C-alpha cells in the first residue's frame, strides 16, 4: 500500500501548525516579489487596497531620505526581519561607498522601519533601488513590529546575486573589512539617524555605530539630511 499521500498530508499539517503558531500562514514565506506581466500589483502580499507596506533597513529608515522620492510614505514603526543579516557591498557614486543589503543568515536578524506607501509610488521606490538596472531585486519579507507576534508582509530590496557579498562582514575585524565593503561616513550616519528616529532598539544602533566606514563624506546629502551631528567613532 502506498503511504506517500498520507505522509505528505501529515507533513503539510505539521508545517501549517508550526507557521500558524508563529503568526505565519503557509503563504507567509519570504520570496522574490514579481509584478505580473499585466502590470497589476494587487496580487502582491505587501499590497492592501491603494497602499503597500515597505521595509527599509538602509538609508530609507530616515524620513527625510525616503520622502525625497516617496512623499506618501507614512512610518508605521520599528520592525524586525528574522534570519537575515544587514551587510554592505557594491560601492556606488551616490553615497561614495558600499550600500546596504540583507543576506539570508539563519539565526541573525535585521531591524528596520516599516512604512505604508501609496501604490502610486511603488515604481518610484523600485527605480530608487535600481531594480531596472539589475542592482537590487524586490522581495516580499515578513516582519514583526515591536511587541507584536503576528507578521506583516512588506516589500524590501536586496542586492542581486551578482552584487551580494560572499562573506559575512561581522566575521571580520574592522581592519579586515575590504574597502569595497565599507559604507561612507555619510551613509552610515544616515542609517544611524534613521534607526534612532524609528525607535529601533539601542543595542542595534550600537551595532550600526561599530561598522567600519571609509571616512568619505557626501557633503550635499550630509547637509540635505542634516547628518552633521550624528557622531561616529
For position 103, what pLDDT does the model report?
97
CA angle 225, 98, 57 (to 5 degrees): 60
Residue from 46, 129, 137, 218 carrying the catalytic annotation: 129
**Ligand-binding site membership of 54 (annotated):** yes
For position 37, what pLDDT does the model report?
43
**Ligand-binding site membership of 204 (annotated):** no
Contact 152/140 with Cβ under 8 angstroms?
no
Give the pLDDT means over successive 10-residue stretches in the chain (233 positions): 42 35 46 54 91 97 95 97 97 93 97 97 92 94 92 96 94 93 98 98 97 96 96 88
CA angle 50, 55, 60 (to 5 degrees): 105
Closest CA to 121 of 60, 187, 194, 192: 60
For the domain made up of 23-224, give the CATH fold.
Hypothetical upf0131 protein ytfp (3.10.490)
Closest CA to 183 of 209, 157, 215: 215
**Ligand-binding site membership of 24 (annotated):** no
For position 93, what pLDDT does the model report?
86
- For the question of residue 129 being annotated catalytic, the response is yes
**Ligand-binding site membership of 58 (annotated):** yes
For position 33, what pLDDT does the model report?
60
For position 32, what pLDDT does the model report?
58
Global confidence as pTM: 0.84
pLDDT per residue over 11-54, tens digit each? Answer: 333 333 333 334 434 345 665 565 544 457 888 999 999 999 99
Q: Enter the C-alpha cell of residue 178.
A: 575590504
**Ligand-binding site membership of 220 (annotated):** no
Measured CA to CA, the distance from residue 44 to residue 52 in angstroms comes to 9
Amino acid at each position: 500500500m502506498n503511504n506517500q499521500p498520507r505522509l505528505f498530508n501529515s507533513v503539510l499539517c505539521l508545517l501549517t501548525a508550526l507557521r500558524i503558531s508563529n503568526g505565519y500562514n503557509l503563504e507567509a514565506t519570504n520570496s522574490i516579489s514579481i509584478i505580473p506581466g499585466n502590470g497589476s500589483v494587487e496580487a502582491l502580499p505587501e499590497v492592501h487596497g491603494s497602499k503597500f507596506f515597505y521595509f527599509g533597513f538602509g538609508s530609507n529608515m530616515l524620513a527625510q531620505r525616503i520622502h525625497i522620492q516617496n512623499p506618501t510614505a507614512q512610518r508605521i514603526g520599528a520592525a524586525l526581519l528574522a534570519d537575515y543579516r544587514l551587510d554592505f557591498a557594491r560601492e556606488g557614486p551616490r553615497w561614495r561607498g558600499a550600500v546596504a543589503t540583507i543576506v539570508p543568515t539563519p539565526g541573525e536578524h535585521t531591524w528596520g522601519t516599516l512604512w505604508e506607501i501609496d501604490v502610486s509610488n511603488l515604481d518610484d521606490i523600485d527605480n530608487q533601488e535600481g531594480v531596472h538596472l539589475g542592482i537590487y531585486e524586490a522581495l516580499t519579507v515578513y516582519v514583526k513590529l515591536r511587541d507584536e507576534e503576528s507578521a506583516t508582509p512588506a516589500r524590501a530590496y536586496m542586492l542581486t546575486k551578482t552584487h551580494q557579498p560572499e562573506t559575512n562582514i561581522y566575521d571580520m575585524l574592522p581592519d579586515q573589512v575590504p574597502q569595497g565593503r565599507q559604507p561612507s561616513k555619510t551613509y552610515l550616519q544616515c542609517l544611524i539617524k534613521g534607526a534612532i528616529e524609528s525607535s529601533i532598539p539601542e543595542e542595534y544602533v550600537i551595532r550600526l555605530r561599530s561598522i567600519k566606514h571609509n571616512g568619505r563624506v557626501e557633503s550635499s546629502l550630509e547637509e540635505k539630511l542634516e547628518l552633521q551631528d550624528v557622531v561616529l567613532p
